[in-house]
Amino acid sequence: MASHLNFILIPFMAPGHITPMINMAHSLSKHGVAAAIILTHFDAARFSSAIDPIRLLKIRFPSSEAGLPPACQSADTLPSHDLLPNFAAAIKMLQRPVRQMLRELHPTPSCIISDKLLTWTAATCDELQLPRIVFDGMNCFTQLVTHNLCVSNVYQTDQPFLVPGLPDRVELTRLQLPGFFNPGPKHVPGFREQVRETEASAYGVVVNSFEELEKSYFHEFRKVRGGKVWCVGPLSLCSSKNMVKEVSIDSDPCLKWLDGREPASVVYACLGSLSRPSPAQFAELALGLEASERPFILVAKGAEIWKWIGDEGIEERTRERGVFVRDWAPQEAILSQPGVGAFLTHCGWNSTLEGICAGLPMVTWPLFAEQFLNEKLVVGILEIGVGVGAKCVVHVGEEEGEKKVRRDGIKEAIEMVMDKGSEGCKRRKRAQEFAEIAKGAVREGGSSFLNVEDLIQDIHRFTKNKKQIDTAG
């Protein structure tokens, strides 16, 4: 049955969107499905080691036609947020060549799994009569909160409000909401509405989560979507490539440094691949870590921030217990090390899931998009995290004027998460239990494994019915 199907995956051009889609392709392949992923030449080159043996379909990114520098072919490579409209225009230009590619593809596609931000794939799937399954990298909790806010309009107030229709009590303010409800100055008018509309009309939704993590939210969201919701994660555990094992202790200085640390003693801090905190806000983070007197690894990006690190002298002051990493670190490998005891994260869902899979309690510092909603799940519902006190979304382009989280709040949150008392131990135990459940979910017979099987069977039925209709016609 599965051998006759051909799933085509089309991710948005950003590392946090591409990586889970590659892992999803590996998962489908393990179930006997032919899976292919469409990437630009730029992304194909930098993710080549993670893709094999998945079929790769390359497409040229129209940088120059959209007024972008040649090297700007992914969201994380934009030198300025002012180029976001150009980037959006380039992505829209991909519709025609992708449509032509799909028309000429053999075997014929059975369905398209598309990032929700690629709204033009909706029209392409309609034209080719293919089911479009949406992937947007969020969890069921966030999806349900978003739906209930749209239906109720309770967010249209300056006061804190309770989200209606949820299994748990969740209080938010409008300033903590994603751009659909709380747009910033750099938003593209009408784009989020188009995303919402094409997402609602999609055949189904695949979710990078596992049922046991958010069971009641999974069931409620399935009701909203008419049953066509498949939790298939954690996708980081589904790849045929074990990226954690491929990074050796001897080859990476962070892992080598961690190898000599006491168990569960180190705080790993990283605010994600797209976050760009101002030097002033980064200073509060670094000084909060210093004040905690805990060993730490801190990922730092940007020339201004590294200038501050040099001028402040903090790297020298903390050299016996701190490591500053320039731009990128092997996050999954670091989180899996026994020396790490907590993860200070921006609450992007990929990072949050990686922390859950590693069995780590989290220090939460949401910045933008749906990250405040993820914090509500981690801190208030799963009870495996402590917040630093962030109050509102920092919109793209507003980083210099962001409302600062103070070093005292960071220090206090670290102390609570690393505490060896009863509350800290309970939090750590819950995190470790979720990690074991996550591993079981993707094993044969686990909830996510069975959901992938169900997705495949659903597309098989759709394809069979379509052939019967075409033959009868």
Whether 4 is catalytic is no
Q: Which of 17, 26, 346, 395 is catalytic?
A: 17
**What kind and span of H or E run contains 68?**
none
Q: How far, in whole angstroms, is CA 258 from its chain's centroid?
A: 25
Q: Whole-angstrom Cα distance, residue 33 to residue 31?
A: 6
Q: Whole-angstrom Cα distance, residue 384 to residue 247?
A: 27
441 contact partners, CB below 8 Å, separation of at least 6? 210, 211, 212, 233, 234, 447, 448, 449
Q: How far, in whole angstroms, is CA 359 from its chain's centroid?
A: 18
259-263: long-range contacts at Cβ-Cβ below 8 A with a sequence spacing of 24 or more?
259/337, 259/339, 260/339, 261/295, 261/339, 262/339, 263/338, 263/339, 263/341
User: What residue spans of 259-406 are helical by DSSP H?
Assistant: 279-292, 303-312, 314-317, 331-335, 349-357, 371-375
Give the helix, strand, coil percentages of the chain, each rounded to 5: 50, 15, 35
Could you tell me where the beta strands, DSSP code E, fall in 82-234?
A: 111-115, 132-135, 161-162, 171-172, 204-207, 229-231
Whether 17 is catalytic is yes
Cα-based distances in Å from 358 to 139, 322, 337, 340, 434: 18, 21, 9, 10, 9
Q: Which of 115, 136, 346, 395 is catalytic?
A: 115
* Catalytic residue IDs: 17, 115
